[in-house]
Amino acid sequence: MTDSARARQPCFHSKYAPLKEAERFVDASLQNKKPGTVLLLGPGENYITTVLAARYPWAAIYSIHPDGQFCKPGLDQATAWWPQAGLTLRNFLRRCLFNEQASAGVAVLEWEPVMATYPQMAAQIRNEVTKSLASAAADRATVTYWAASWLKNCLHFARRLRQATSLSQQSGGIILAAAGPGLNDCLPAIRRSRDQATVWALSSAVPALLTAGIRPDFVISTDPGYWSGVHLQSSRQQGLLVGLPPSAYAGTGLLDSGRPIVPLDTGLLFEKTVLQQLGITAVPAIAFGTAAGTALNLALTASTGPIAVCGLDFAAYQTRTHAKPYAFDNLHLEHASRLHPGQASLYGETIERYPEKAGSWRFSRAFSAYANELTIAPSDLGRVFRFSRSPVTSAGMASFPVCHFENLDWPENSPPESPEIKSVSGGADKVVGILDALGRQAGLAIDQALVSGKAFAFDDALVLKALGGAAVAAPLALAARGQLTSQTALQAREAIRQALEKWSEPCR
């Protein structure tokens, strides 16, 4: 390289004391913070990483480079990303942020000399990091909030389930009905195609289908909240085939109704423990932020034919947030008064939940994020058809007006074979067995964290959160920093012991 070319080359670090420069940068950026995870944006050479590793030995440090020139041969792709790495930045960030190590805090450090040299890629990196941080934070909040409910629902499932069955593989098409306001537009077309395809529905969409004279063949429910029991009432009363994971709220009278349930396995530790205790096999399913994602994944697995998705709008139409009728239609009217009319309350809630507007449709960033979460394998793109007028698009899923529904070419819909129905002996003894197993796992996890000085694994942390609640927040964060003490571990053990005692008492 000539002297003139060397002079034109940008200088990203101090020529005289790059490590001292990196130390000053780290001190100014982190001050007294003790993050469990550090994202370095455009760190350039290895100076900042070296300082961080020495100052924060417990932290997981990840480097995101805007260009491959900073990546030497043999660079570990588990801790570094660059545009030519062969892995999308979103997937790399998911690996970095969606774990218990990040629960101790995430610090984002940006080395401006490098990022300023690559403004376009830097903007893309910042945008993806911002979205991934928000998504990971929401995911952690969801796990923390719902952990105890997931376990409670699983124990109810273990105690009450009497019959289980499975899904049959089919070659015909499936019509999947969600409960968005656009479902009502699709109902006439669904009714005309009823004999040509199998109809699946989310539990919240069942009342609208039944009112239109359409009896769904299969109903899916995945929500852990108590309101899910209200949505399932129509399915229970009509004796419909229901599929749900043990972690979902089943309400009363469904699991022991005398009709079989299709157990779903979304990969949650509690579900696997319950299924093992009951000795039954479940249908594998992928958990999404919305039940529609899980249902669509199941449909793509169960059938090789086309999938017509209706009512998946991710938006409100005027003041209608759902198809009609809907289980909670009268909620606003029941609490209405002269000073607080029901329609005014409904309008206010719609504006609050869907603040952005496009014509008569209203939408929000949160629901748009759900839409983008529904990724479809390239091999399946040609057989998923979403019928909706909603302005919210879904990544990888083409949308069509309802009038095109009639143009679908349905393959011959031969009736699938009826799967075997298995009797299940759920009961209090199963609940005790599950709690004993989880208690042992929690104890072993605490022992391991004390010895290893590392963060809890996701499944172990899930058990601790479900059993220990707020009492285990500090132990989890300290373990992620390698600072878990025997005293703090003892507090966690005591909280878990009390929880196990309380939850087991009705069964003994």
**pLDDT of 340 above 90:** no
Query: Is 201 in contact with 219 (CB distance < 8 Å)?
Result: yes
Output phi, psi for 386, to 5 deg. Answer: -100, 125
**pLDDT of 130 above 60:** yes
Tokens of 290: 């919305």
Confidence category of residue 5, pLDDT binned at 50, 70, 90 = very low
pLDDT in tens, 391-417: 888 866 788 888 888 888 888 766 667
pLDDT score of 217: 94
Confidence category of residue 235, pLDDT binned at 50, 70, 90 = very high
**pLDDT of 326 above 90:** no
Which residues, in sequence order, are bridge partners of residue 422? 164
Output phi, psi for 409, to 5 deg. Answer: -95, 95
Query: Is 263 in contact with 245 (CB distance < 8 Å)?
Result: yes
Confidence category of residue 2, pLDDT binned at 50, 70, 90 = very low
Confidence category of residue 266, pLDDT binned at 50, 70, 90 = very high
pLDDT score of 332: 55
Cα 248 off chain centre by: 14
Confidence category of residue 346, pLDDT binned at 50, 70, 90 = low
Residue 282, Cβ neighbours under 10 Å: how many? 20
Confidence category of residue 361, pLDDT binned at 50, 70, 90 = confident
pLDDT score of 347: 59
**pLDDT of 478 above 80:** yes
Task: State what percent of residues in the chain have pLDDT above 90.
Answer: 55
Q: How far is the C-alpha of 52 from the C-alpha of 46, rounded, in Å?
A: 10
**pLDDT of 338 above 70:** no
Mean pLDDT over all residues of the chain? 87
Confidence category of residue 4, pLDDT binned at 50, 70, 90 = very low
Q: How far is the C-alpha of 247 from the C-alpha of 263, rounded, in Å?
A: 10
- Give me the numbers of helices (H) and strands (E) for the chain, helices first please: 19, 18
Which residues, in sequence order, are bridge partners of residue 163? 423
More confident residue, 220 or 368: 220
Closest CA to 113 of 228, 35, 18, 211: 18
pLDDT in tens, 149-198: 999 999 999 999 999 999 988 888 999 999 999 999 999 999 999 888 99
pLDDT score of 372: 74
| Average pLDDT estimate for 47-59 | 92
Task: State what percent of residues in the chain have pLDDT above 70.
Answer: 92
Burial label, 418 (beta-carbon count in 10 A; 0-12, 13-18, 19+): exposed
**pLDDT of 3 above 50:** no
Half-sphere exposure of 64 (CA within 13 A, CB side): 28
pLDDT in tens, 417-476: 778 889 998 888 999 999 999 999 999 999 999 999 888 999 999 999 999 988 898 899
**pLDDT of 202 above 50:** yes
pLDDT in tens, 446-455: 999 999 988 8
pLDDT in tens, 498-508: 999 988 887 66
| Average pLDDT estimate for 36-43 | 94
pLDDT in tens, 57-99: 999 999 999 998 887 766 777 899 999 888 899 999 999 998 8
pLDDT score of 227: 87
Query: Is 448 in contact with 23 (CB distance < 8 Å)?
Result: no
Burial label, 480 (beta-carbon count in 10 A; 0-12, 13-18, 19+): buried
Least confident of 151-165, 177-191, 289-303, 360-374: 360-374
**pLDDT of 307 above 90:** yes
Closest CA to 287 of 248, 242, 250, 334: 248
Confidence category of residue 1, pLDDT binned at 50, 70, 90 = very low
**pLDDT of 310 above 90:** yes
**pLDDT of 270 above 90:** yes
Query: Is 411 in contact with 305 (CB distance < 8 Å)?
Result: yes
